[in-house]
Structures are given as structure tokens and as C-alpha cells.
Amino acid sequence: MRAPHFLLLAMLGAAPAIAAQRCPAPKAMTFVVDHEIRRSYPGFTEGLEIADGALLESTGDLVGNTVINRIDLRTGRVTVLMDAGKRYFGEGLTRFGGKLYQMSWREHRVFVFDGQMKPLGEMKNPREGWGLTHDGQRLIASDGSSELFFLSPADFSTQGSVRVRDERGWVANLNELEYVDGAVWANVFESWVAVKISPATGCVLARADLTPMRERMNVADLEVINSDGNFVPNGIAWDAARKTFILTGKEWPMLFSGHFVEE
């Protein structure tokens, strides 16, 4: 059946807008490992952040408790800074404005601490909590979908959002986040892939292969990683002082520092 004349005009008028929403193919990148950090004991990593020359880690309680750890970058020694037990399932973590923000997974809770881990209050998250970072003005969160949400650090109210896509369509399962030089890096849940995202357009700028970390693991490491389907890559931190990324996974015995390079 032929479309009415006005419908054809509407379709033609919409075509440029649809075309403008398309994203070019992302750059292909790989993660080159420079250094390995052996942890004193593992954690079910949900959030990873550099602060005061050390790593801060938020864990969920799937294997152990929900805790916030400090990890020494030189020795790998893990120190528990806060232990919430199993009162909630810890997720994304970021430090902003001298405060530390930790989300829960399905409990819709956001906890705020000062630099000495003293609780400063609690806010409500209307969505599931997955990854958390900030751009110097706003908090940025993921909820496991293809969207990134821009939030007020004062009350966690939503100030905007962007849907993430590449040349093939929407990119779902966005998990742990890190903001670096104007772009958001994200783990794609249950994959050995990280993506670099433009927070302005939602376009994936680069798609990075994380399997070089697996190639650095010994037999004992691989036995741990392969023992549970939950022990997937998760955790991206940016060490601005050393200009290097630190990556890990859930219950991994180690972390890897390195950099992303184009293939």
C-alpha cells in the first residue's frame, strides 16, 4: 500500500535526524599489561578507585561481606576500612569533593563517607546501582542497561542521561565506570571487553580487548577465575599520577596496571 503524501514527507524529514544518531565504528584497542599487583586476599570487586596513592575497592557480598577496602599499590596488602556485613550488596564507588560515595545493588541506597570513613548520610537511588564515577561536576552511574545517568552529588537526583551505542546498536550491561580525560570507560558485564564512551553523544569511541590479562595468569590463577561464572572482569581505576590504568576482576588474586593501545 502506498503511504499518504504527508506520511512520505514526514519520513523524509525524519531521515537526517535518524542518520545523525548513528555512531562510527569504535577504534579497536587492547590492554597492554605493564605490572601485576598480587593482593593479600581477594574481593568480589564492584567499584575501584584511586585515592591518596592507594586503591579503594567496594565489594558485594556474594562471596564474603560488603566492604570497602584499601589496597596498597606497592605490596597489594588489603585493609578493610568499612564492613557492612550482608546488610546490603555493595556496588559502584567513587571519591568526589572529599567524600566517598558507595551504591548498593538492588536496595536503592547510596552511602556517603568522609575521608576518614565516617558516615555522612544516605541518599536514594531510583535505579539499580552498578558502576559509579564522576566528571568533576556530576556523579555518573550505570544500572546494567545501556544508559549512563548524570546525578547531583548533593542528593543523587538525576540531571540527565545518555544512551550508549556503537555502530551496531545499543550497548547494554554497562558495569564499573571510570572517567578519564573527558571520556567514560566501562566494563561490559560478563565479557572481556571494556568500552570508551563519549558522555556527550553516548557513542562508543573505542572497544578494548581485555584478554591480555588472562594471558598473564598462571594455572592456579586460571583455576580460580574459571571456578565460578561470576568471577568476570570488573574494576577500572585511573592512576593520574602514573598515567596508567589499573584493572581487575571479581575474586581475582591480582590486579593489573597498564595502558590501552590501538590495535
Are β-strands 183-188 and 244-249 bridged in parallel, bridged antiparallel, or unpaired? unpaired
CB 259, CB 242: distance < 8 Å: no
Could you tell me the three cell numbers for 258? 597498564
Residues 6+ apart with CB under 8 A from 62: 44, 89, 230
Residue 233: predicted pLDDT: 98
Residue 9: predicted pLDDT: 37
Give the confidence band of 7 by pLDDT, cuts at 50, 70, 90.
Answer: very low
Query: Could you tell me the residue ranges of all domains in the chain?
Result: 27-262
Is pTM, for the whole model, over 0.85? Answer: yes
- Which CATH superfamily groups domain 27-262? TolB, C-terminal domain (2.120.10.30)
Q: What is the pLDDT of residues 177-212, one digit of tens each?
A: 999 999 999 999 999 999 999 999 999 999 999 999
